[in-house]
Structures are given as structure tokens and as C-alpha cells.
Amino acid sequence: MTEGQRAYEARRAAKAGMSLERWLAQKEREAQADSAAAAKAQGAAEPAAAKKPGLLARLLERAQKPL
């Protein structure tokens, strides 16, 4: 973290009434929670892709097959 970033985070921590170390630890925990939630949401979206094709898609697929 650069000196400017550290000063910015120190001002934010002071405004929240926390120490810089505590502020950064909380920020890291929130980032991990967000990434875990995003991974969980992405995992829930994968089974939806396994859904069987609709009527029109099946008819088009049959029409493409050779006789």
C-alpha cells in the first residue's frame, strides 16, 4: 500500500472511530465475504445451464441432423 493510500485509509479509520489496523482487518473480512458470496452465487448459476433445451431448440437440432 502506498503512502497516499495508507493516509487515506487512516483518515477513513479515524472518521469511523477505529484504529488503522482494525479498519484494514475489517475491510479485508468484508472483501472475503463478498468474494465468497460471489462464488456461491456463481455456483448456483451453473445448474441452470444444465437445463434441457426448449421445444424450438430441439426441433432446430433435429432439423440439422442428416437423414
Angstrom distance (rounded) from CA 29 to CA 21: 12
Strands in the chain per DSSP E = none
Residue 19 domain boundaries: 3-64
pTM: predicted TM-score of the whole model, two decimal places: 0.56
**6-56 pLDDT, tens per residue?**
999 999 999 999 999 999 999 999 999 999 888 887 776 565 566 888 999
**Residue 52: DSSP 8-state:** P
Total count of domains within the chain: 1
Question: Taking a C-beta distance cutoff of 8 angstroms, is the pair 23, 12 a contact?
Answer: yes
pLDDT score, position 46:
60
